[in-house]
Amino acid sequence: MTAKEYTPAVLLDANNGIIEIAGKSFPEDAARFYKPILRWIDEYITTPIPVTQLNLKFSYYNTSSAKKILELIKKVAMLKKSGNKLDITWYYDEGDEDMLSAGNDYSSVIEIPFKFVEIKNVI
């Protein structure tokens, strides 16, 4: 899915084990927007490839999106708990301490270390 004004770009690539969400996330109905993504992840984790890469590149998200992002991260984290390799990279805008802190919070909740990458203009 390509990014729109209120929703991020989404890449779900089962063949290469890549899940990527990038941009702003403040859809009118976050549950509806994230539902097919979460369904795809449920299917993927039943027969994943050996290494999965989750890339999260948010420049902004609202509270309802934050809940769905956490749900998504928790689902993907089940891969690691079942013995698969999982790499999670959290990208954040240069100097955006709030977004860095948010990534640290998610990492702490699921007890899996993230790789943090500071870049100019996430999206």
DSSP category for residue 112: -
**Closest Cα to residue 91, out of 61, 120, 67, 52?**
120
pLDDT of residue 2: 75
Kindly report the CATH number that applies to the domain delimited by 9-119: 3.30.750
Strand (E) positions, 1-123?
9-13, 18-25, 51-61, 85-93, 115-119
pLDDT of residue 120: 86
Could you give the 3-state DSSP secondary structure of residue 18? strand
pLDDT of residue 32: 96
Side-chain-side CA neighbours of residue 81 (13 Å): 11
Q: pLDDT means per 10 residues in the chain (123 residues)?
A: 82 98 95 97 96 96 96 96 94 94 96 94 65
Ordered by start, the domain boundaries in the chain are 9-119
pLDDT of residue 42: 98
pLDDT of residue 4: 73
pLDDT of residue 123: 61
